[in-house]
Chain A
Amino acid sequence: MRSSLRLELVAALAVGLLLAAVPMLIPGNITLLNLGILTFLYVAQGVAWNILGGFAGYVSFGYAAFFGLGAYTTALLWLAGWSPVLTYPIGGLVAAAFSLLVGAPTLRLVGPYFSIATIGVGEAMRILMLNLDKITGGASGLNLPTVVPSKTWFYFVALICAATSYAVAAWIRTSRFGLGLTALRLDLEAAESLGVRTTLFKNLAHIVSAALVGACGGVYATYLQYVHPDTVFSFTLSISLVLIALIGGLGTVWGPVLGAVVFFVVQDYLQTSYPTFHLLVYGLLLLVIILFEPGGMAGLAGRLVARRRGASAGPPAADPAPHAEHERAPMPRADAERPGTERTT
């Protein structure tokens, strides 16, 4: 298990370096850089969302609030004369602080109740920001300075965002903290009775992922040089993050990476070809995934790998399923003994 983890990290590092080399290998391709920047930002956010939504199992539809807060923090500080790079972490901190404020009451809810509460929070933030026009520019948004670094610079910053999210998620996955999150997702009460501080852990996961998403919001604001409450606080953005994680594979580290790439490519293609049609396609995609492959692309890939190994290496060594069947074989006998002694309580 540890060796496969190392392999995964090496693969991630290789992909990261390859992507970092792209601007040098294919210089001057603005479209490619633009595609890269937006995709990396989606990757960073999808992976970050998955820390709470996938690892801890708290599906939030309110992450646009964190993205928007990060975007506006950066925008306002930038207008006040700060250097944009310094404002990204501050945007993250503001988002993190807000996530604590929201999470402390809402993370007490479970399942769909939590999800619905987060929809309310996200939409409330959008409407609030739309009406705070003295600060946010309201319905006309805020125009930001036009003097910006190059697209290549943004390409690297976005790549760093994605890499940071990935590293944080990968670390959490293997840490004691991650084990606690998994335990509380599978059975909150059992986790609690084994000493897991479930409330603390849920809130920590929320804060970490909100901070990452907030920083992405800042990068996005400086990249577009324009912020508007309806775009940075949009419900569509919140849903996108859920979709990315679902398409890629809930609760895996690299699932949302794949999910974000597929999501963005599909979105890019559909929005240009069928502008009104793309939501329908997402709806269908979501249905298909939930019905046929709840593990998303990561689940599908895992199954294919298991099947291939099963075919080449012989069944008992690689595939755990027949092995388990084999071990379970004595059970019917135990069952046969049981009725005579079974107590009806």
Chain B
Amino acid sequence: MTTALTLDRITKRFGGLAALQEVTVQIASGDITGLIGPNGAGKTTLFSIIAGKTRPTVGRVLCFGHDVTGWSAHAVCRLGVCTTHQVVRPFGDLTVLENVRVGASFGASGRLGGRTAEEEAGEILTFVGLAHRRDSLASALTLAQRKRLEIARALATRPAVLLLDEVLAGLTPAEIQQAVELVRQIRARGITIVMIEHVMRAVMDLSDRVLVLNYGRLIADGSPAVVANSPQVIEAYLGEKISES
């Protein structure tokens, strides 16, 4: 198994607050890795650092052997690591198809021209099940559809690694089911997935491996079953949430 992502002693401080401390992880290519932890644990900050939106205070990020620490977000994306946003950010004034065309025209797919990019965008919309809305304005979509659009746009960049930041949050159980299915299909395309998620059942179902962050530290790392039974995790986080739902 090759390594897709390597995080080497990532530390991020915002003033006196240490959002991440010495996080070292290797993500195997082809896996679905769940990243969980209570609010404020540093999950999204970790994604921002991988995606090149934030620089770590200390530490290195390696993608497929390239040291990408300090690269800008567009360069990381073109290397094949694409992030979806926790709060969806569709280009509201553009149609669904145009939104996806942005990803297809730029991104790791390189310089796709007008026609090719449009065809590619069309195929991806069919894949994520948004083909029927291709000519609607992105601002007219429902939340579930916007989340799909966010994923479609990211897929259009032809990523090797996809970072999904809470794509299930706010969805109905039926919608969650469909989204989980979609994530499986994406993995079947050979794309490595790291997902931040609060919907525990989905994470435990989907993930090959689960990482748990708490107060910026990695407190558990292993298969879903191992992590779910780790006393440290139960104490920090899971115990509370499981009894709640």
**Closest 8 pairs between A and B when the two form their complex, measured CB to CB:** A195-B106, A195-B107, A195-B77, A186-B91, A190-B89, A192-B73, A337-B172, A183-B102
Complex contact B106–A180 (CB within 8 A): yes
- Known A331-B142, A337-B174; further 7 A-B contacts with Cβ < 8 A: A189-B73, A194-B154, A195-B82, A196-B102, A320-B137, A337-B172, A338-B172
Chain B residues whose CB sits within 8 angstroms of the CB of A331 once the complex forms:
142
Knowing A191-B102, A193-B73, the reply to whether A324 touches B91 (Cβ < 8 A) is no
B106 touches A194 (CB 8 A): yes
B60 beta carbon closer than 8 Å to chain A = no
Instruction: Report the minimal beta-carbon distance from B70 to chain A, rounded to whole angstroms.
Output: 15
Q: Which of B91, B101, B108, B170 sits near A195, CB closer than 8 Å?
A: B108
Our pick among B78, B136, B144, B199 for the contact of A327 (Cβ within 8 Å) is: B136
Chain B residues within an 8 Å CB radius of A328: 140, 142
Residue A197 at the B interface, CB < 8 A? yes
Q: B142 touching A334 by the CB < 8 A rule?
A: yes
27 A-B Cβ contacts within 8 A?
A176-B111, A176-B113, A179-B98, A179-B101, A179-B102, A179-B105, A186-B91, A186-B92, A186-B93, A190-B91, A191-B102, A192-B73, A193-B51, A194-B74, A194-B102, A194-B156, A195-B74, A195-B157, A196-B106, A324-B136, A324-B137, A334-B172, A334-B175, A343-B169, A343-B199, A345-B166, A345-B169
Total A-B Cβ pairs within 8 A: 107
- Please provide the chain A residues from 290 to 345 with a CB less than 8 Å away from any CB of chain B in the complex: 320, 324, 327-328, 331, 334, 337-338, 341-343, 345
User: Nearest residue in A to B88 (C-beta to C-beta)?
Assistant: A190
Which of A175, A183, A327 touches B91 (beta carbons < 8 Å)? A183
B94:A194 contact, CB within 8 angstroms = no
Bound Cα distance from A279 to B226, whole angstroms: 73
Measured between alpha carbons, how far is A179 from B107 in the docked complex, in Å? 13
Tell me the count of chain A residues lying within 8 A, CB to CB, of chain B: 32
A-to-B contact residues, CB < 8 Å: 174-176, 179-180, 182-183, 186-187, 189-199, 320, 324, 327-328, 331, 334, 337-338, 341-343, 345
* B39 contacts A by Cβ under 8 Å: yes
Contact partners of B90 in chain A: CB under 8 A: 190
| Contact pattern, B 147-176, Cβ under 8 Å of A = 1, otherwise 0 | 000000110110000000010011011110
The 8 Å CB contact of B103, one of A176, A194, A337, A343, is A194
Q: Does B185 contact A (CB under 8 A)?
A: no
For A320, what are the chain B residues with a Cβ–Cβ distance below 8 Å?
135-137
Inter-subunit contact A182/B51 (CB<8 Å): no
Alpha-carbon distance A187/B89, docked complex (angstroms): 8
